[in-house]
Amino acid sequence: MKYRISILIFFILSSFANYGLASDKEAEHKASVIIPDVALLSLKVEGNSNVEFQSAAPTTAGEKIDLQSKQESNIWLNYSSIVTSNQKRKITATVVGDIPNGISIKLKVGENIGAGIGELGLSNGSIVLSNSPVDIISGIGSCYTGVGVQNGHPLSYNLEIDENSFYSNSEKGETSVSVIYTLTDDN
């Protein structure tokens, strides 16, 4: 019986000793959250992505060519951005190719529409495109526009025609240019 009581007392004291040791010990490990730098840009299209301005030949001598000057493109500009503190991004547009003499291509960038969240960029409105980058959206912080059509910034195109230059330098034919959009740091 004494043997059992001694064993019982030993186990009770051992439990208190382990309890005391366990309460004095700490264990730790690090947990890291890594947020990457993100700068993604895409164009989403409803239907055909080509923007075509066509002219109609006059039917009566002395009339001018009727050149369609407005094109709703159904192209949507989507982007995702994660930046550091106080950093901003912008989107530029550049024309690659030769625009015919007397014609200016204007790009109208609408305000953001849809499911976007964060510090979305602000449209610079209607911009005349050229072979040099032109800012079309500015002030982009950490954000996303949402994916696909009806999200992001809607794009539409207009032509402006300087008739004197156009008729002095025009030739029959077709001219194609590409518009390149770039998401870049603004500061």
Place 17 in a pLDDT band, splitting at 50, 70 and 90.
low
pLDDT, greater one: 29 or 12: 29
Average pLDDT over residues 155-170: 84
**Selection from 118, 34, 136 nearest residue 81 by Cα:** 118
| pLDDT tens-place string over residues 170-182 | 777 778 899 999 9
Q: Which residue spans within 117-177 are E strands per DSSP?
A: 117-118, 122-123, 126-128, 134-140, 143-144, 153-161
Q: What is the pTM of this model?
A: 0.79
Question: What confidence tens digit (pLDDT) does each residue in 94-116 have?
Answer: 999 998 888 899 999 999 999 89
pLDDT the model gives residue 74: 85
Cβ neighbours, 10 Å, residue 183: 20
CA-based angle 40:44:47, to the nearest 5? 165
